[in-house]
Structure formats: structure tokens, C-alpha cells
Chain A
Amino acid sequence: MPGLWRKIRKTGRVAEPAPARVPAEVPAAAAELAGSIQIRHVDAGSCNGCEVEIGSVFGPVYDGERYGVRLVASPRHADALLVTGPVTRNMEVALRRTFEAVSEPRLVVALGDCARGCGVFAGAYGVVGAVGDVVPVDVEVAGCPPEPTAIVAALRGLTGR
């Protein structure tokens, strides 16, 4: 325990200074949420590349939580779904029902090239389509995988902070 305490003292603050906010159009539903967004992450068939980046968004360096974003365990607690990957046949119903479980006002963020347009999996036999073909998408984040800064910028566009 003294070792851990020394480590905490020595490391200090790891979080990078918050970059200037890019003024962007805030979806109407996000404006109602006023600086607090709870996110449920749904992996609809991702290769886990995007998940690694989401992991770093909520790690100490990028610290997504400081903008009022928090990952939660249940779609009932969530305001936004963060969907990664092309929607596979097995996940189509699950994604639709997860979306229905979120209470209004609700948002969907399609994260990564696969979620936006199936990416390299376009036309594969197990793929139903992009996220937009199954549930209405409000915000898209491009990249394969998108960089944490891009994800943070998109999430800040939702919380307005």
C-alpha cells in the first residue's frame, strides 16, 4: 500500500488537458439531456478494434468522464447507445430490442467504419447491414478504428461540454 501511494504521488495527473471544443450541431435529443449522457455500449459484430479505443476514451489519458459521459451496465439507465461493428444476423434482434429498452429522449452513435457502412465486412453472408439499416443513427464517428480523440469529440458534441 505505501508503494501504491508513492506511485500515485509520483504519477500525478495523467489526463491530458481538454482540447478546445469543436462547435458542432447538437442533436435536439442531446440538448434536452443537459450535460449528462449515460452510454450503453453494444457490440453488434465488431472485431474489437473499436472496443479497445472506447477503453482508452474512458481511461486516465483521455478521461471521457470529465465531459459528463459515463458507461452504464443497462440500456434502461442509458441515454445513448454506442454501437460498433456491422450488424450481424445474430445481433439484429438484440440491437433492436436494446434500442427499444432505452427511454426517450434517446440517441444512437454509430462508431467506426463498420457501423457506418459495414466496412470490410460489406456483403458478407452473416451481415445484415450497417447500424443505420436497423436503428435510426444520430451521430457517426469515422475511422477504422476511430481515434480516441475523434470519439471524445463526438461525445462532447452530445454533452455540450
Chain B
Amino acid sequence: MITPVQVAVQITVQIVLVVAGAPLLTGMMRQVRARLEGRAGAGVLQPWRDLRKLARKEPITPQGTGWVFRLAPLVAAATVLVVAAVVPLTGTTSPLAGVGDLFAVVALLALGSVALALGGLDTGTAFGGMGASREMTVLALVEPTILMSIFALSVRVGSTNLGAIVTRTAEDPLDVVSPVSLFAAAALAIVTIAETGRIPMDNPATHLELTMIHEAMVLEYAGPDLALIEWASAARLGVLLGLLASLFAPWGIAGVGAGLAAVALAALILVIKVAVLGALLAAGEVFMAKLRLFRVPELLAGSFLMALLAVSASFFLG
């Protein structure tokens, strides 16, 4: 029997993990990169130091910007927070299970991106507009891929509810090695990299405005607003990596009616899975250069093709 207290505990654990752990994930990834590049690195806690300092600084709104600019960081952070509450990271039950739908999650993340793009446009600077237009280009290419992968994953479950998909995969582990899952996993992995602005799509550490995508939109934010945006982009990466882990390796996730011990174990396993995925992503970035902007659509078209193959495979292989 599942009690409301257990669900509340599980969802609280999940939200706290995402809120506190996302900057640590960024710090860990920077540390992995630093070590592979022969540097010592600033330590895993550095992003939290940065956020604490930014939160204390004076907020500045540039001349001529309006409510869109001020609202964008709040929308970006709020959407990630809602997504963190509804996706099945530590357990498959959620008080918001009705909303824990792949379409809703994707739309919420897109809402955050659109809010930031509008904030970038609101500054009226050349780089803000350029970043916004690039972000929208990438988003427009990413959305169809996500939708196709969702179709492929939801066909055999008969539902787009994330909890249902994860439960089904956890019960039938051989599903993971089916062509449907493998194609969808590859497509969603590329999409995750594009959505979170990592190499080879975008370089989060770049100083050259002309090569920026995500950074160009947020060039004008300062102080607490910037802290919200940096936290939101770290949390978005954490949630998407966690979602990938839950969809394609749902072992250890707490099922319906799981006890508190199972939730604690699930939280620990989630941390390990996300840390491994993050370390792999960071190590991969060392071996790669950023793609030229005009090559990005080709890579995204490749991921769309894989999503399409996943759908075809689910149709032909049943």
C-alpha cells in the first residue's frame, strides 16, 4: 500500500537532489575536464561558490529592457524545477503523475529555452538577438527528434507517461537491448547534448561571442538573475541525464509502494548513474572540438534519422 507520506518523501528527496546536486554535477564535469587537460581544477564545489557570490551581487537591468528580460530567468528556473518534480528519477510514482508525461516535460524545457531567448532579444543587443536566433534554430531541429523518440518508446507501453514507460522497462530489462531502445537512446543522447549546450553543439566555456549559442543570450544578465540562469542550465543537464538513465537503465529505481530504504537506495543509484554519465560526457568533450554552426543541423538530422529508425523498428519488430 502506498501512503502519501512515502510519495512526499520520495519527491522531496528527488527535488533536493536536483537542486543541490546540479551545481555539483557541473563542478564534477569541469574537474574531469581539468584533470584530463593536465590542470588541477577549481574543485567540485566551485559552481556553488560562484552561485553564492552571484546571489549576493547587485542586480543590474540594462537600459531599455522590460519585464520579459526580468521574468526570463525565473521562468527558466521554475520550469526546470517543475520538471525535476514530475520526471521519474528516484521513483516511478509522483503526486503529479498525470503531468509526468514526456510531451509535458519536453514542452516545459522548451518553454524555459524560449523564455531565455525572449530575454536575449529584449536586450536589443546584436549578440542577444544572434544567440536567440541560433537557440531557436537548434530547438526547432531538436523538437521533432524528441517527439519521434517518444513515439518509439511509448508504442510498446501504450502511454506517453514517463512513469509507465520506466516501470515497463524495469519489469522487462531485455527491452533495453531492443533496436527500438538503442536507436531512441542514441537519438535522445544527441538531443540532450544539443538541449544543454555542450560540445560539440555549443561550448559553455567559450569567450568568442561569434561562436556562442546559449551564452550569447545571457550575456547581459548579472548578479542574482545570472545565478538563476546558471543553476537552471546545470539542473537542466542533471535532469536530462537522470531521465536518460531512468529511461534506458531503470535499475534500482523505486517502484510503486516502495519503502523509505528503497527510496534512499534509488537516490544513491541515481547519483552514481548521473555522475557516470556526466563524467563520460566531460571526457568525450576533451576529445572533440565544437562543430561549425552550419554542421550542427547535419548532426541533428542524423539524430532525427535514428529516432525515425526507432519508430520504424517498433512498427516492424512489434
Contacts and interface: CB of A to CB of B under 8 A. Distances in A.
Interface of A: 1, 4-5, 8, 11-15, 18, 32-36, 38, 60, 63, 65-68, 70-74, 76-77, 79, 101-105
Nearest to B51: A36
Contacts, number: 90
11 contacts: A5-B287, A13-B35, A15-B39, A33-B53, A35-B53, A36-B53, A65-B34, A73-B208, A77-B222, A103-B222, A103-B223
Grouping DSSP codes into helix (H, G, I), strand (E, B) and loop, the B interface class, with mixed when no group exceeds half, is: loop
Interface in B42-73: 42-43, 46, 49-50, 52-53, 56-60, 62
A76 B42 contact: no
Interface residues on B, range: 35 or more
B41 interface: yes
Given A34-B49, A68-B49, A79-B57, A73 B40 contact: no
A65 B38 contact: no
B221 A73 contact: no
Interface in B193-221: 206-209, 212, 215, 219-221
B126 interface: no
A68 B207 contact: no
Contacts of B57: 79, 103-105
A27 to B, nearest CB: 15
A76 B60 contact: yes
Contacts of A74: 219-220
Nearest to A9: B36
Contacts of A66: 34, 39-43
A76 B224 CA distance: 11
Given A36-B46, A73-B206, A14 B223 contact: no
A1 B209 contact: no
